[in-house]
Amino acid sequence: MTYPYASAQAQPALAVTPPSGAARPRLTFLGTGYLGATYAICFAELGYEVLGVDVDEPKISKLQAGAVPFHEPGLDELLRRNIAAGRLRFTTDYREAAEFGDVHFICVGTPQRADGMGADLGYVESSVISLVPHLTRKALIVGKSTVPVGTAEWIEQLVSKHAPADLGIEVAWSPEFLQEGHALEDVLRPNRLILGVKSQWAHDMLMTAHKGVFDLAHNEDREVPVVVTDFATAELVKVAANAFLATKISFINAMAEVCDAAGADVTQLAKSIGYDARIGNKFLRAGIGFGGGCLPKDIRAFQARAQELGAGEALRFLHEVDLINQRSRGRVVQIASELLARPYGPAGPDFSGLHIAVLGATFKPNSDDVRDSPALAITRSLARHGAQISIFDPQGMENAKRELPDMTYAPSLNDAVTGADLVCVLTEWEEFRYADPNALGDLVAAKLVIDGRNCLDQALWTAAGWTVRGLGRPSA
Ligand code: UDX
Protein backbone atom coordinates (compact mmCIF):
# COMPACT_ATOMS: atom_id res chain seq x y z
CA MET A 1 0.00 0.00 0.00
CA THR A 2 1.32 3.47 -0.77
CA TYR A 3 0.31 6.73 0.83
CA PRO A 4 1.87 10.14 0.32
CA TYR A 5 3.47 10.72 3.69
CA ALA A 6 4.82 7.29 4.41
CA SER A 7 8.43 6.35 3.92
CA ALA A 8 9.29 5.01 0.51
CA GLN A 9 12.20 3.13 2.06
CA ALA A 10 12.24 -0.24 3.74
CA GLN A 11 11.13 0.06 7.33
CA PRO A 12 13.89 -0.79 9.79
CA ALA A 13 12.96 -3.10 12.65
CA LEU A 14 11.04 -1.35 15.38
CA ALA A 15 12.83 -0.52 18.58
CA VAL A 16 10.08 -2.06 20.69
CA THR A 17 7.30 -4.45 19.90
CA PRO A 18 3.86 -2.99 20.52
CA PRO A 19 2.02 -4.86 23.30
CA SER A 20 -0.83 -5.65 20.87
CA GLY A 21 1.63 -7.56 18.70
CA ALA A 22 0.80 -5.33 15.70
CA ALA A 23 3.64 -4.33 13.36
CA ARG A 24 3.28 -0.67 14.32
CA PRO A 25 1.81 0.61 17.57
CA ARG A 26 -1.92 1.18 17.31
CA LEU A 27 -2.83 4.65 18.42
CA THR A 28 -5.91 6.06 20.09
CA PHE A 29 -6.63 9.75 20.48
CA LEU A 30 -8.90 10.41 23.44
CA GLY A 31 -10.96 13.50 22.66
CA THR A 32 -11.75 14.36 19.04
CA GLY A 33 -11.94 18.12 19.32
CA TYR A 34 -9.63 20.28 17.31
CA LEU A 35 -6.45 18.70 18.70
CA GLY A 36 -7.45 15.04 18.85
CA ALA A 37 -9.25 14.90 15.49
CA THR A 38 -6.36 16.59 13.70
CA TYR A 39 -3.80 14.26 15.28
CA ALA A 40 -5.89 11.16 14.64
CA ILE A 41 -6.33 12.03 10.96
CA CYS A 42 -2.69 13.01 10.42
CA PHE A 43 -1.28 9.92 12.16
CA ALA A 44 -3.53 7.70 10.03
CA GLU A 45 -2.09 9.55 7.03
CA LEU A 46 1.37 8.68 8.33
CA GLY A 47 0.37 5.02 8.09
CA TYR A 48 -0.72 4.14 11.64
CA GLU A 49 -3.88 2.30 12.58
CA VAL A 50 -5.81 4.91 14.53
CA LEU A 51 -8.94 5.05 16.66
CA GLY A 52 -10.44 8.43 17.63
CA VAL A 53 -12.46 8.33 20.87
CA ASP A 54 -15.00 10.79 22.22
CA VAL A 55 -18.06 10.79 24.45
CA ASP A 56 -19.82 13.15 22.02
CA GLU A 57 -21.93 10.81 19.89
CA PRO A 58 -22.92 13.32 17.13
CA LYS A 59 -19.29 14.40 16.73
CA ILE A 60 -18.13 10.79 16.36
CA SER A 61 -20.90 10.02 13.83
CA LYS A 62 -19.90 13.05 11.82
CA LEU A 63 -16.24 12.07 11.76
CA GLN A 64 -17.07 8.46 10.96
CA ALA A 65 -19.12 9.76 8.03
CA GLY A 66 -16.09 11.65 6.73
CA ALA A 67 -16.93 15.20 7.84
CA VAL A 68 -14.57 17.27 9.99
CA PRO A 69 -16.69 19.18 12.56
CA PHE A 70 -14.55 22.35 12.27
CA HIS A 71 -12.75 24.24 9.52
CA GLU A 72 -9.13 23.30 8.95
CA PRO A 73 -7.70 23.55 5.44
CA GLY A 74 -6.95 20.13 3.89
CA LEU A 75 -8.23 18.01 6.77
CA ASP A 76 -11.51 16.84 5.18
CA GLU A 77 -9.71 15.18 2.31
CA LEU A 78 -7.25 13.38 4.60
CA LEU A 79 -10.11 12.19 6.82
CA ARG A 80 -12.01 10.64 3.93
CA ARG A 81 -8.90 9.10 2.40
CA ASN A 82 -7.83 7.40 5.62
CA ILE A 83 -11.30 6.14 6.51
CA ALA A 84 -11.49 4.65 3.03
CA ALA A 85 -8.06 3.07 3.47
CA GLY A 86 -9.29 1.38 6.66
CA ARG A 87 -6.64 2.93 8.88
CA LEU A 88 -8.91 5.34 10.72
CA ARG A 89 -12.03 4.73 12.81
CA PHE A 90 -13.93 6.57 15.51
CA THR A 91 -15.82 5.32 18.54
CA THR A 92 -17.51 6.37 21.75
CA ASP A 93 -16.61 3.07 23.38
CA TYR A 94 -13.65 3.26 25.76
CA ARG A 95 -13.65 -0.52 26.11
CA GLU A 96 -12.95 -0.76 22.37
CA ALA A 97 -10.18 1.84 22.73
CA ALA A 98 -8.55 -0.14 25.54
CA GLU A 99 -8.70 -3.34 23.51
CA PHE A 100 -7.31 -1.66 20.38
CA GLY A 101 -4.57 0.69 21.48
CA ASP A 102 -0.89 0.43 22.38
CA VAL A 103 -0.41 4.17 22.82
CA HIS A 104 -3.29 6.32 24.06
CA PHE A 105 -2.94 10.07 23.53
CA ILE A 106 -4.95 12.32 25.84
CA CYS A 107 -6.24 15.16 23.67
CA VAL A 108 -9.27 16.40 25.64
CA GLY A 109 -9.92 20.06 26.39
CA THR A 110 -8.60 21.81 29.49
CA PRO A 111 -10.79 24.94 29.61
CA GLN A 112 -10.51 27.73 32.15
CA ARG A 113 -12.32 26.78 35.35
CA ALA A 114 -15.66 28.46 35.90
CA ASP A 115 -14.62 29.48 39.42
CA GLY A 116 -11.14 30.89 38.71
CA MET A 117 -8.16 31.28 36.42
CA GLY A 118 -6.85 27.70 36.71
CA ALA A 119 -7.36 24.90 34.19
CA ASP A 120 -10.29 22.51 34.58
CA LEU A 121 -8.88 18.97 34.47
CA GLY A 122 -12.29 17.27 34.59
CA TYR A 123 -12.09 15.95 31.03
CA VAL A 124 -8.53 14.68 31.54
CA GLU A 125 -9.61 12.82 34.65
CA SER A 126 -12.68 11.28 33.05
CA SER A 127 -10.78 10.16 29.93
CA VAL A 128 -8.21 8.35 32.07
CA ILE A 129 -10.77 6.83 34.40
CA SER A 130 -12.92 5.75 31.45
CA LEU A 131 -9.99 4.03 29.74
CA VAL A 132 -7.72 2.36 32.22
CA PRO A 133 -10.10 -0.08 34.00
CA HIS A 134 -10.65 -1.74 30.59
CA LEU A 135 -6.96 -2.26 29.80
CA THR A 136 -5.88 -5.86 29.59
CA ARG A 137 -2.22 -5.48 28.62
CA LYS A 138 0.65 -3.02 28.93
CA ALA A 139 0.05 0.36 27.28
CA LEU A 140 1.46 3.88 27.18
CA ILE A 141 -0.75 6.84 28.08
CA VAL A 142 0.61 10.06 26.60
CA GLY A 143 -0.60 13.51 27.59
CA LYS A 144 -0.91 16.07 24.80
CA SER A 145 -3.45 18.50 26.23
CA THR A 146 -2.15 21.75 27.76
CA VAL A 147 -2.14 21.20 31.52
CA PRO A 148 -0.80 22.61 34.77
CA VAL A 149 2.64 21.28 35.69
CA GLY A 150 2.23 18.20 37.90
CA THR A 151 -0.62 16.69 35.87
CA ALA A 152 1.41 13.75 34.50
CA GLU A 153 2.31 12.61 38.04
CA TRP A 154 -1.34 12.91 39.01
CA ILE A 155 -2.34 10.78 36.01
CA GLU A 156 0.14 8.14 37.16
CA GLN A 157 -1.71 8.07 40.47
CA LEU A 158 -5.08 7.81 38.70
CA VAL A 159 -3.73 4.92 36.65
CA SER A 160 -2.42 3.02 39.65
CA LYS A 161 -5.76 3.52 41.39
CA HIS A 162 -8.03 2.54 38.49
CA ALA A 163 -6.05 0.18 36.22
CA PRO A 164 -5.91 -3.57 36.82
CA ALA A 165 -2.75 -4.30 38.80
CA ASP A 166 0.44 -5.68 37.26
CA LEU A 167 -0.14 -4.55 33.68
CA GLY A 168 2.75 -2.09 33.87
CA ILE A 169 0.80 0.82 32.34
CA GLU A 170 3.13 3.79 31.85
CA VAL A 171 2.59 7.51 31.39
CA ALA A 172 4.49 10.03 29.24
CA TRP A 173 4.06 13.66 28.25
CA SER A 174 4.45 15.05 24.74
CA PRO A 175 2.91 18.50 24.28
CA GLU A 176 1.55 19.68 20.92
CA PHE A 177 2.17 23.02 19.29
CA LEU A 178 -0.32 23.10 16.47
CA GLN A 179 -1.67 26.36 15.19
CA GLU A 180 -5.17 26.51 13.81
CA GLY A 181 -5.19 27.06 10.06
CA HIS A 182 -1.74 25.46 9.85
CA ALA A 183 -2.41 22.31 11.81
CA LEU A 184 -1.67 19.64 9.20
CA GLU A 185 1.82 20.92 8.65
CA ASP A 186 2.40 21.31 12.39
CA VAL A 187 1.47 17.66 13.04
CA LEU A 188 3.08 16.07 9.99
CA ARG A 189 6.17 18.27 10.04
CA PRO A 190 6.63 19.38 13.64
CA ASN A 191 9.51 21.76 14.37
CA ARG A 192 10.35 19.72 17.49
CA LEU A 193 9.16 16.78 19.57
CA ILE A 194 9.25 16.96 23.33
CA LEU A 195 9.20 13.63 25.12
CA GLY A 196 8.65 13.68 28.86
CA VAL A 197 9.39 10.10 29.92
CA LYS A 198 10.44 8.10 32.94
CA SER A 199 11.62 4.86 31.35
CA GLN A 200 13.47 3.55 28.33
CA TRP A 201 10.37 1.59 27.30
CA ALA A 202 8.22 4.73 27.33
CA HIS A 203 10.88 6.55 25.33
CA ASP A 204 11.19 3.78 22.76
CA MET A 205 7.45 3.33 22.43
CA LEU A 206 6.92 7.05 21.94
CA MET A 207 9.68 7.20 19.33
CA THR A 208 8.10 4.21 17.58
CA ALA A 209 4.74 5.94 17.68
CA HIS A 210 6.37 8.90 15.89
CA LYS A 211 8.37 6.87 13.40
CA GLY A 212 6.12 8.06 10.57
CA VAL A 213 7.04 11.65 11.42
CA PHE A 214 10.75 10.82 11.32
CA ASP A 215 10.42 8.86 8.09
CA LEU A 216 8.67 11.74 6.40
CA ALA A 217 11.36 14.14 7.59
CA HIS A 218 14.06 11.77 6.39
CA ASN A 219 12.46 11.55 2.94
CA GLU A 220 12.38 15.32 2.75
CA ASP A 221 15.94 15.71 4.01
CA ARG A 222 14.81 17.40 7.20
CA GLU A 223 15.51 16.72 10.84
CA VAL A 224 13.01 16.77 13.66
CA PRO A 225 14.78 17.84 16.86
CA VAL A 226 13.81 15.70 19.85
CA VAL A 227 14.12 16.82 23.44
CA VAL A 228 13.90 13.97 25.95
CA THR A 229 13.13 15.28 29.39
CA ASP A 230 11.20 14.82 32.64
CA PHE A 231 7.45 15.22 33.09
CA ALA A 232 7.51 18.67 34.67
CA THR A 233 9.73 20.17 31.98
CA ALA A 234 7.65 18.64 29.18
CA GLU A 235 4.48 20.09 30.69
CA LEU A 236 6.06 23.50 31.20
CA VAL A 237 7.46 23.68 27.64
CA LYS A 238 3.95 24.12 26.27
CA VAL A 239 2.76 26.83 28.62
CA ALA A 240 6.11 28.62 28.49
CA ALA A 241 5.94 28.68 24.68
CA ASN A 242 2.42 30.08 24.70
CA ALA A 243 3.31 32.61 27.41
CA PHE A 244 6.22 33.80 25.29
CA LEU A 245 4.06 34.16 22.17
CA ALA A 246 1.40 36.06 24.11
CA THR A 247 4.07 38.30 25.57
CA LYS A 248 5.47 39.04 22.12
CA ILE A 249 2.03 40.10 20.86
CA SER A 250 1.31 42.23 23.90
CA PHE A 251 4.77 43.78 23.66
CA ILE A 252 4.07 45.02 20.13
CA ASN A 253 0.58 46.14 21.15
CA ALA A 254 2.12 48.15 24.00
CA MET A 255 4.43 49.70 21.40
CA ALA A 256 1.33 50.47 19.32
CA GLU A 257 -0.08 52.46 22.24
CA VAL A 258 3.16 54.44 22.45
CA CYS A 259 3.19 54.92 18.67
CA ASP A 260 -0.36 56.27 18.81
CA ALA A 261 0.68 58.76 21.49
CA ALA A 262 3.84 59.78 19.62
CA GLY A 263 2.48 59.82 16.06
CA ALA A 264 4.74 56.91 14.99
CA ASP A 265 3.92 53.81 12.93
CA VAL A 266 4.05 50.46 14.75
CA THR A 267 4.15 48.44 11.53
CA GLN A 268 7.39 50.16 10.52
CA LEU A 269 8.68 49.80 14.06
CA ALA A 270 7.91 46.04 14.12
CA LYS A 271 9.56 45.55 10.75
CA SER A 272 12.64 47.43 11.86
CA ILE A 273 13.18 45.60 15.15
CA GLY A 274 12.30 42.27 13.51
CA TYR A 275 15.37 42.43 11.26
CA ASP A 276 17.43 41.69 14.37
CA ALA A 277 17.56 37.88 14.34
CA ARG A 278 17.55 37.87 18.13
CA ILE A 279 14.09 39.46 18.02
CA GLY A 280 12.70 38.01 14.77
CA ASN A 281 9.76 39.34 12.78
CA LYS A 282 7.14 36.72 13.68
CA PHE A 283 4.30 37.41 16.12
CA LEU A 284 4.92 41.15 15.99
CA ARG A 285 1.69 42.10 14.24
CA ALA A 286 0.06 44.80 16.31
CA GLY A 287 -3.72 45.04 16.37
CA ILE A 288 -6.66 43.98 18.49
CA GLY A 289 -4.63 41.25 20.15
CA PHE A 290 -4.69 37.54 20.74
CA GLY A 291 -7.71 35.31 21.28
CA GLY A 292 -8.62 31.69 20.62
CA GLY A 293 -8.90 28.59 22.72
CA CYS A 294 -5.26 28.61 23.84
CA LEU A 295 -3.24 31.76 24.52
CA PRO A 296 -5.73 33.65 26.74
CA LYS A 297 -6.66 30.71 28.95
CA ASP A 298 -3.14 29.28 29.02
CA ILE A 299 -1.51 32.43 30.39
CA ARG A 300 -4.17 32.60 33.10
CA ALA A 301 -3.84 28.94 34.05
CA PHE A 302 -0.04 29.32 34.10
CA GLN A 303 -0.30 32.19 36.58
CA ALA A 304 -2.75 30.26 38.75
CA ARG A 305 -0.48 27.22 38.84
CA ALA A 306 2.65 29.28 39.58
CA GLN A 307 0.76 30.88 42.45
CA GLU A 308 -0.10 27.44 43.85
CA LEU A 309 3.57 26.46 43.60
CA GLY A 310 4.71 29.62 45.40
CA ALA A 311 6.20 31.14 42.25
CA GLY A 312 3.38 33.58 41.51
CA GLU A 313 5.70 36.61 41.58
CA ALA A 314 7.70 35.21 38.68
CA LEU A 315 4.70 35.34 36.37
CA ARG A 316 3.21 38.64 37.49
CA PHE A 317 4.15 40.13 34.13
CA LEU A 318 1.64 37.80 32.47
CA HIS A 319 -1.10 39.73 34.22
CA GLU A 320 0.18 42.82 32.43
CA VAL A 321 0.30 40.87 29.15
CA ASP A 322 -3.38 40.05 29.66
CA LEU A 323 -4.25 43.68 30.48
CA ILE A 324 -2.50 45.01 27.38
CA ASN A 325 -4.41 42.44 25.35
CA GLN A 326 -7.75 43.54 26.80
CA ARG A 327 -6.85 47.20 26.19
CA SER A 328 -6.07 46.45 22.54
CA ARG A 329 -9.64 45.25 22.09
CA GLY A 330 -10.94 48.44 23.68
CA ARG A 331 -9.04 50.64 21.21
CA VAL A 332 -11.54 49.95 18.41
CA VAL A 333 -14.43 51.46 20.37
CA GLN A 334 -12.26 54.49 21.23
CA ILE A 335 -11.27 55.04 17.61
CA ALA A 336 -14.87 54.55 16.47
CA SER A 337 -16.01 57.23 18.90
CA GLU A 338 -13.44 59.63 17.41
CA LEU A 339 -14.23 58.82 13.78
CA LEU A 340 -17.97 58.97 14.28
CA ALA A 341 -17.81 62.08 16.49
CA ARG A 342 -19.69 60.33 19.27
CA PRO A 343 -17.69 61.33 22.37
CA TYR A 344 -17.38 59.23 25.51
CA GLY A 345 -20.05 59.89 28.13
CA PRO A 346 -20.06 58.18 31.52
CA ALA A 347 -21.39 55.03 29.87
CA GLY A 348 -19.04 55.23 26.88
CA PRO A 349 -19.90 56.55 23.44
CA ASP A 350 -23.45 56.48 22.12
CA PHE A 351 -23.51 54.87 18.69
CA SER A 352 -27.30 54.72 18.39
CA GLY A 353 -28.63 55.34 14.89
CA LEU A 354 -25.31 54.30 13.33
CA HIS A 355 -24.69 51.25 11.19
CA ILE A 356 -21.32 49.56 11.71
CA ALA A 357 -20.11 46.77 9.41
CA VAL A 358 -17.93 44.20 11.20
CA LEU A 359 -15.68 42.16 8.92
CA GLY A 360 -14.44 39.08 10.72
CA ALA A 361 -15.72 36.99 13.63
CA THR A 362 -13.05 34.32 14.08
CA PHE A 363 -10.03 34.82 16.33
CA LYS A 364 -7.78 34.51 13.29
CA PRO A 365 -8.16 33.79 9.56
CA ASN A 366 -8.40 30.28 8.03
CA SER A 367 -10.34 29.03 11.02
CA ASP A 368 -13.99 28.92 12.06
CA ASP A 369 -13.05 29.20 15.73
CA VAL A 370 -14.61 32.11 17.63
CA ARG A 371 -13.47 31.12 21.13
CA ASP A 372 -12.40 34.26 23.01
CA SER A 373 -12.32 36.04 19.67
CA PRO A 374 -11.27 39.71 19.89
CA ALA A 375 -13.57 40.36 16.90
CA LEU A 376 -16.64 39.14 18.75
CA ALA A 377 -15.69 40.89 21.99
CA ILE A 378 -15.44 44.18 20.07
CA THR A 379 -18.69 43.49 18.21
CA ARG A 380 -20.43 42.92 21.52
CA SER A 381 -19.06 46.20 22.83
CA LEU A 382 -20.04 48.22 19.72
CA ALA A 383 -23.57 46.78 19.95
CA ARG A 384 -23.76 47.52 23.68
CA HIS A 385 -23.05 51.15 22.84
CA GLY A 386 -26.08 51.23 20.56
CA ALA A 387 -24.62 50.56 17.10
CA GLN A 388 -26.60 48.56 14.60
CA ILE A 389 -24.14 45.87 13.51
CA SER A 390 -23.96 43.79 10.37
CA ILE A 391 -21.30 41.13 10.53
CA PHE A 392 -19.69 38.91 7.92
CA ASP A 393 -17.03 36.21 8.20
CA PRO A 394 -16.06 33.71 5.49
CA GLN A 395 -16.05 30.66 7.82
CA GLY A 396 -17.11 31.70 11.31
CA MET A 397 -20.76 32.68 10.86
CA GLU A 398 -22.34 29.55 12.36
CA ASN A 399 -20.17 29.62 15.46
CA ALA A 400 -20.57 33.40 15.80
CA LYS A 401 -24.36 33.07 15.65
CA ARG A 402 -24.25 30.70 18.60
CA GLU A 403 -22.17 33.22 20.59
CA LEU A 404 -23.99 36.38 19.52
CA PRO A 405 -27.45 35.36 18.31
CA ASP A 406 -28.84 38.90 18.32
CA MET A 407 -26.57 40.41 15.66
CA THR A 408 -27.45 40.81 12.00
CA TYR A 409 -25.39 38.40 9.90
CA ALA A 410 -24.80 39.48 6.30
CA PRO A 411 -24.50 36.83 3.59
CA SER A 412 -21.49 38.53 1.97
CA LEU A 413 -18.86 41.19 2.42
CA ASN A 414 -20.78 43.53 0.10
CA ASP A 415 -24.03 43.02 1.99
CA ALA A 416 -22.30 43.71 5.30
CA VAL A 417 -20.87 47.08 4.24
CA THR A 418 -23.88 48.34 2.30
CA GLY A 419 -25.09 51.53 3.96
CA ALA A 420 -22.45 51.37 6.71
CA ASP A 421 -21.35 54.51 8.54
CA LEU A 422 -18.16 52.72 9.59
CA VAL A 423 -16.39 49.52 8.53
CA CYS A 424 -14.28 47.59 11.09
CA VAL A 425 -11.87 44.93 9.79
CA LEU A 426 -11.33 42.64 12.79
CA THR A 427 -9.96 39.42 11.26
CA GLU A 428 -7.37 39.54 8.50
CA TRP A 429 -9.05 37.20 6.01
CA GLU A 430 -7.58 37.53 2.51
CA GLU A 431 -11.05 38.39 1.24
CA PHE A 432 -10.93 41.57 3.34
CA ARG A 433 -7.25 42.39 2.85
CA TYR A 434 -7.56 42.32 -0.91
CA ALA A 435 -11.08 43.75 -1.22
CA ASP A 436 -11.40 46.58 -3.73
CA PRO A 437 -11.74 49.84 -1.76
CA ASN A 438 -13.20 51.61 -4.82
CA ALA A 439 -16.02 49.09 -5.20
CA LEU A 440 -16.72 49.04 -1.44
CA GLY A 441 -16.69 52.85 -1.41
CA ASP A 442 -19.75 52.85 -3.67
CA LEU A 443 -21.70 50.74 -1.17
CA VAL A 444 -21.06 52.47 2.16
CA ALA A 445 -22.72 55.56 3.63
CA ALA A 446 -19.32 56.92 4.79
CA LYS A 447 -15.82 55.90 3.76
CA LEU A 448 -14.49 55.31 7.26
CA VAL A 449 -12.58 52.13 8.09
CA ILE A 450 -10.87 50.87 11.25
CA ASP A 451 -8.18 48.36 10.37
CA GLY A 452 -8.05 46.33 13.59
CA ARG A 453 -5.35 44.03 12.23
CA ASN A 454 -3.23 46.61 10.36
CA CYS A 455 -3.72 44.43 7.30
CA LEU A 456 -5.05 46.85 4.67
CA ASP A 457 -2.98 48.66 2.08
CA GLN A 458 -3.49 52.14 3.55
CA ALA A 459 -2.24 53.97 0.46
CA LEU A 460 -4.73 52.12 -1.76
CA TRP A 461 -7.67 52.77 0.53
CA THR A 462 -6.74 56.42 1.03
CA ALA A 463 -6.43 56.88 -2.73
CA ALA A 464 -9.99 55.53 -3.01
CA GLY A 465 -11.17 58.29 -0.67
CA TRP A 466 -11.31 56.35 2.60
CA THR A 467 -10.26 57.59 6.02
CA VAL A 468 -8.26 54.67 7.42
CA ARG A 469 -7.40 54.22 11.10
CA GLY A 470 -5.10 51.39 12.15
CA LEU A 471 -3.83 50.62 15.66
CA GLY A 472 -0.52 52.31 16.41
CA ARG A 473 -0.41 54.04 13.03
CA PRO A 474 -0.90 57.67 12.10
CA SER A 475 -4.32 58.19 10.53
CA ALA A 476 -4.41 58.13 6.77
C1 UDX B 1 -1.45 29.04 19.57
C2 UDX B 1 0.05 28.72 19.44
O3 UDX B 1 0.60 29.47 18.36
C4 UDX B 1 0.25 27.24 19.20
O5 UDX B 1 1.62 26.91 19.15
C6 UDX B 1 -0.42 26.46 20.34
O7 UDX B 1 -0.30 25.08 20.14
C8 UDX B 1 -1.87 26.85 20.47
O9 UDX B 1 -1.99 28.28 20.62
P10 UDX B 1 -3.46 29.35 17.85
O11 UDX B 1 -4.36 29.54 19.02
O12 UDX B 1 -3.93 28.49 16.72
O13 UDX B 1 -2.05 28.74 18.32
O14 UDX B 1 -3.21 30.79 17.25
P15 UDX B 1 -1.96 31.73 16.94
O16 UDX B 1 -1.62 31.66 15.51
O17 UDX B 1 -0.88 31.56 17.91
O18 UDX B 1 -2.66 33.15 17.16
C19 UDX B 1 -3.22 33.47 18.44
C20 UDX B 1 -3.83 34.85 18.43
O21 UDX B 1 -2.81 35.82 18.37
C22 UDX B 1 -4.76 35.13 17.24
O23 UDX B 1 -5.90 35.80 17.73
C24 UDX B 1 -3.94 36.03 16.35
O25 UDX B 1 -4.74 36.90 15.58
C26 UDX B 1 -3.11 36.78 17.38
N27 UDX B 1 -1.84 37.31 16.85
C28 UDX B 1 -0.89 36.44 16.39
C29 UDX B 1 -1.60 38.67 16.86
O30 UDX B 1 -2.45 39.46 17.30
N31 UDX B 1 -0.40 39.14 16.40
C32 UDX B 1 0.57 38.32 15.93
O33 UDX B 1 1.61 38.82 15.53
C34 UDX B 1 0.31 36.93 15.92
The closest of 128, 181, 194 to 158, measured between CA atoms, is 128
For ligand 1, whether the C-beta of 245 sits within 6 Å is: yes
Cβ partners under 8 Å of residue 420, min gap 6: 355, 356, 357, 390, 443, 444, 445, 446
Cβ–ligand 1 contact at 18 (below 6 Å): no
Q: Taking the CB of residue 268, how many other CB atoms lie within 10 A of it? A: 12
> Which stretches within 120-210 are classed as H helix?
122-131, 151-162, 183-188, 200-209
Counting Cα atoms < 13 Å in the Cβ hemisphere of 92 gives 9
Q: Give 423-452 as a DSSP string.
A: EEE-S--HHHHT--HHHHHTT-SS-EEEET
DSSP state of 132: G
Beta strands in 342-445 (DSSP E): 355-359, 388-392, 408-409, 422-425
Q: What pLDDT digit, counting tens, does each position of 345-387 carry?
A: 899 999 999 999 999 999 999 999 999 999 999 999 999 999 9
Alpha carbons 359 and 458: distance in angstroms, whole number:
17
pLDDT at 417 over 90: yes
Q: How confident is the model at residue 476 (pLDDT cuts 50, 70, 90)?
A: confident
Mean pLDDT of 266-291: 98
Q: How far is the CA of 75 from the centre of ligand 1 (A)?
A: 19
pLDDT-based confidence at 1, cuts 50/70/90? very low
Residue 363 alpha carbon, nearest atom of ligand 1: 23
In this prediction, residues 76-98 reach a mean pLDDT of 98
Q: What is the pLDDT of residues 126-184, one digit of tens each?
A: 999 999 999 999 999 999 999 999 999 999 999 999 999 899 999 999 999 999 999 99
Other Cβ atoms closer than 10 A to 167: 15
Mutation test of ligand 1: which of 295, 325, 372 has the most ligand atoms closer than 8 Å to its C-beta?
295
pLDDT given at position 225: 97
CA of 132 to the centre of ligand 1 (A): 34
Cβ–ligand 1 distance for 249 under 6 Å, the answer: yes
If you take atom 13 of ligand 1, which residue's CA is the nearest one? 179
**Is the confidence at residue 237, as pLDDT, over 90?**
yes
**pLDDT at res. 10:** 32
Cβ 404 under 6 angstroms from ligand 1: no
Q: Does residue 221 surpass a pLDDT of 70?
A: yes
- Looking at the chain, the whole-number percentage of residues with pLDDT higher than 70 is 97
Q: How long, in residues, is the chain?
A: 476
Q: Ligand 1 center to residue 298 CA distance, Å?
A: 12
Condensed to tens digits (0 to 9), the pLDDT of residues 423-447 reads: 999 999 999 999 999 999 999 999 9
Rounded to an integer, the average pLDDT of 265-283 is: 97
In the prediction, which pLDDT does 14 show?
52
Q: Is the pLDDT of residue 247 over 70?
A: yes
- Read off the pLDDT band of 448 (50, 70, 90): very high
**Of the residues 180, 282, 290, which should be mutated to test ligand 1's pocket, given the most ligand atoms within 8 Å of the CB?**
290
**What are the residues facing 29 on neighbouring strands?**
52, 105
Rounded Cα distance between 429 and 199, Å, is 46
Q: Where are the alpha helices (DSSP H) in 132-182?
A: 151-162
- Closest residue CA from atom 21 of ligand 1: 290
pLDDT digits (tens, 9 = 90+) for 308-341: 999 999 999 999 999 999 999 999 999 999 999 9
* Any ligand 1 atom below 6 A from CB of 163: no
Amino acid present at 185: E
- Report the distance separating Cα 352 and Cα 333, nearest Å: 13
Please tell me the pTM assigned to this model. Answer: 0.94
Q: Does any ligand 1 atom lie closer than 6 A to the CB of residue 363?
A: yes
- What pLDDT is attached to residue 162? 97
Residue 332 CB less than 6 A away from ligand 1:
no
Statement: residue 93 has pLDDT above 60: yes
Decide if 294 is catalytic. Answer: yes
Question: Are residues 170 and 206 in contact, defined by beta-carbon separation less than 8 angstroms?
Answer: no
